Amino acid sequence: MPAAIWWVRRDLRLGDNQALAAALAHGGPVIPLFILDPALWASAYVGEKRLAFLLGGLRQLDAALRERGSRLLVRSGAPHEALAGLLAESGADAIFAEADYSPYARRRDGRVAARLPLHLVDGLTVRPPGTVLKADGRPYTVFTPFSRAWKALPPPEGRDLLPAPRHIPTPADLPGDPLPDAPLLAEGMPFPPGEAEARRRLEAFTGGSGPPIYRYHQQRDRLDLAGTSGLSPYLRLGMVSARQAVVAALASMAAAPSDEASKGARAWLDELIWREFFVHVLHHFPHVRREAFRPTLRAIAWENDEAAFAAWCEGRTGYPVVDAAMRQLARTGWMHNRARMIVAAFLTKDLLIDWRWGERWFMQHLLDGDPAANNGGWQWAAGTGTDAAPYFRVFNPVAQGTRHDPHGDYVRHWLPALARVPDAFVHRPWEMPGEVQRAAGCVSGRDYPPPIVDHRRARERALAAYRRSRQGT
DNA sequence: TTTTGAGTTGTTCGA
DNA sequence: GTCGAACAACTCAAA
């Protein structure tokens, strides 16, 4: 049998990999290939942290392949050219890859499929776009009915999960390019790349007795606790499959010792379904990548103040919960989901800066930066997306901080200047009397910036700008 | 076609 | 400090 190419894109795993399984089922040798695509390297939506995570993941994948008689071949260039070259050199007659639905991925794969034998296989989601539709055949644009329809379909089961192949026959003589050196992932990086780490995290979150998933609904919004799965970067690059995650969530639900515990598992499953929802939304409405989903909110007169944007990026807005979160992002490539909502609301509503600026910044810095989920999240926060956001849903950064970081542990961790600020002022340090500021070693304007906007006034400004957009259209 | 119920995550004010 | 009401209006999904 001629060889088949397993084209790795965002499925850096050997377990439960349908594209790899299809390549093996082709019957001949399998060539695992990753293409260093210059278009991605140059994109304004890619940053060095995620690239480093990707490169680290590729090294892990290569090591795992070598234990199975194979290896990862790396080639540089435009995908259709790299693939055409490799097909000719190797005599392979088929390419298998996990389908990806972002606008760029669809263009890229369309170019390849037009001239080469490309076979796309499911795996990015449990339910691919087109399989969850309303009775009239159109896609859902509201989450709750989407999730009901999603759950009504037959659930994936443990026996559906494909085991990692024991042996992968691969030709030894094909020359590849070296993987570029990753900008060093800091020692003690909170997200070590690789499938083994992803599986370990999924097991720690959902398995054993009394796992965190059973407290997820209670703790997930707490900035100061580790109540989330920490799996998003791994899902982003397919170091764990969506199906593996859903199967684990369903198993936890079935085994829940109490109603309360099963609420936690259900809440986490809903988050996985949100991920699928946004993949579907971007697939069916690719224009959301460029503009608001809601036509009436395409005319907002953004302020787009460059200095304010820089303060937001660098975490010096004077609102501790915003600044702590932005520093967590810059430092670790990850941000708590609640914090993402808070900083996104602050950028769009308090600073009246175009959500696309924030979307781009997140893509440049998040390890888990995903075109669909990131766009969906930003449009949700800006109120321009599929969610019918009431116009009055404007976050108060002080209230959010107090509620979700009640002791200030989170902000103190990322903002050492606040270390000795009393709890009562830790989310609004500018209100400290001068004497308390000096005692705490945190003088406004010297040790920590004063707030760059007054929230009350900013809120009114945002409401007015949104109202004008609605009324003008 | 019409109707009806509902929509992730909030804030503020006044009693 | 706590509690309930008010904050508008629209669109979607499904019967």
Residue A390: the pLDDT is 73
CA/C1' separation A365–B12 (Å): 35
Q: Which nucleotide is nearest to A293 (CA to C1')?
A: C11
Residue A184: the pLDDT is 61
Nearest-CA neighbor of A226 among A256, A278, A191? A191
Measured CA to CA, the distance from residue A380 to residue A331 in angstroms comes to 25
- Please report the DSSP string for A300-355 in residue order: ------HHHHHHHHHT-SS-HHHHHHHHHHHHHS---HHHHHHHHHIIIIIS---H
In chain A, which residues have pLDDT < 50? none
Which distant-in-sequence residues (6+ apart) come within 8 Å of A194 by Cβ? A12, A56, A57, A60, A61, A239
| Region label for A447, one of left (φ > 0), alpha (ψ between -120 and 50) or beta (otherwise) | alpha
Indicate yes or no: strand C within 7 A of the C-beta of A146: yes
Q: Which nucleotide is nearest to A146 (CA to C1')?
A: C13
Residue A387: the pLDDT is 85
Indicate which residues of A carry an active-site annotation. 271, 274, 302, 337, 355, 378
Which distant-in-sequence residues (6+ apart) come within 8 Å of A330 by Cβ? A313, A314, A315, A365
Residue A171: the pLDDT is 96
Reported pTM: 0.97
Place of tokens 């988050």: A271
Q: Which nucleotide is nearest to A133 (CA to C1')?
A: C13
What is the dihedral sign for C-alpha A117, A170, A33, A156? positive
pLDDT in tens, A244-260: 999 999 999 999 999 99
pLDDT in tens, A326-344: 999 999 999 999 999 999 9
Q: Which nucleotide is nearest to A277 (CA to C1')?
A: B8
- Which helix (H) or strand (E) is A196 found in, with range? helix A195-206
CA/C1' separation A6–C8 (Å): 54
CA/C1' separation A134–B2 (Å): 19
- Nucleotides of strand B lying closer than 7 angstroms to a protein CB: 6-12
Burial of A391 from C-beta contacts in 10 A (0-12 / 13-18 / 19+): exposed
Q: Which residues touch strand B (CB under 7 A)?
A: A 142-144, 221, 270-271, 274, 337-338, 341, 377, 380, 387-390, 392-396, 399-400, 403, 455-456, 459
Residue A473: the pLDDT is 63
Indicate yes or no: strand C within 7 A of the C-beta of A285: no
Residue A58: the pLDDT is 97
